[in-house]
Structure 1
């Protein structure tokens, strides 16, 4: 059955396509030869090009193999069938992540024979949404576990430390007091760890207007001050991204934790002088985070050319006390995830040798 268009009362000329901007899937309206007449916001976001740049181009050419779509458009135009479906791979601009995106393509007739609707659905979209939902559930369970465990540790810790100090005062031997000093020092170290575990849940947000590029520039300055040799921190900003309401210091800490991890993992490349971290911002439209859909969101990509995250911990990097670095506390990414989620956002990670990308997504008003 041909797909009808509803014309608004009192309007004439071309059917309106604005409603397609409300969809999370990619939609293009094309001629039978594939020439683009309209693309929605999701199409713009996923191909990384503006609507103006896409209009007039050949939509089949955005696929790795253009022929199946050309054949489907010709068949629908001949009325061989009203709807065609097939799987394909979308080609994205160099530097995008990923550069190739598996999609399910649906080709539909319309009541106007020279207009065909092409819809593309990310094959991994549902998998990603399911993964986000599981992650949110795991995070809530982890937060509850951390709070309970921290309080259970903190209660006897004060007694242990106080008893060690009293015992130290009664001991006359310097050799024996060294043991009580070890007890006090280790109790203080555990107290510091507990405080860090509880910090995100204890401190209230200080909400104000946040410019994500000011956050990135602050982080960049701090990282370069700590690692002045052999490391470049490159910026690729979309300056059109608006300010939003949030806690600036929390976001600085979240981005700093991820970027410092990257800088530390780049030690061999820093020695060689070719270590690079990229801070890249983009605007995304019609984004689903958890079960909530947002019209606009910012994406901050923190990318490095390091060795990648070990496969043994790749699925657990946001869990507390999990670290791939000797001497690491395993709290940096846990805190970063907590701070981002307090802004209704998410963090995703994709890592392979030579390229690791953390993507922070935060909804915009």
Structure 2
């Protein structure tokens, strides 16, 4: 990769297009990950979202296992596991096994948001209205859950005191290495917690679009050094569509822009449209400004302009790594098991 760019990584939500099955979307993700691996990208992270018609990234550990097995070098991780949805022991067991299978290549990114609607959250948490053990809301227990996951994954493990006896508990029998834990967020809550615990931190710039500088400054200025991470560590996440020309990139970005517009305005969600389907959509006049504002925060353009903008953003936010979310859609007639425009975005950025 060119020296004028920061290190590049990839965020994947495993989008499902209107011409794809879930199996097709998974095949396209495998192909995209292999492209990223071959091009020298640093990480490949997979999100957690539930009950969405355009997103197949419902289970990061399973996806990480698939992607890590299909690649040879790139770090593979979660961007992120939404910890309040899961028992800490289960998450610790999953990532301890992933790290044992692919030592030195696994990242555990942890988020606090539900990643879904209220009804699905209710189902994920066993119909308990979001309440955890003892009736506490798992969101309020997030700091303890993070600490529990880290303790359980460690070689020493954790212990529980029950009826006057101490019982050892480990995520895996003999951990030789532990995946680094990253805290993810779109507010200042996780920035404060990551700084307090001496953990790496990522602000969801690709989703929030604002508040990034403030969150990163809060994290850096209040960071408490830890043995594993003496210095604060962070990077930037950015939505990117790159193509041979700016016009082609704008066309390619439109399906994802319309999906995000529907999400922001409470409209029915659908599978991701093909480019031609997106171009046939009439955007209501009252939503046109929001659509333009979102597009302005994304990186959309030809190779030179996209690379230049990413370098500018890295300098603006003081990061040496940018995680790109390749949002380019597909044209009608594209083979269902690949995403050529997303792959081309990665290739153009890496030149």
Larger Rg: 1
- Which of 1 and 2 has higher RCO (CA within 8 Å, sep 6+)? 2
TM-score normalised by L of structure 2: 0.20
TM-score normalised by L of structure 1: 0.19
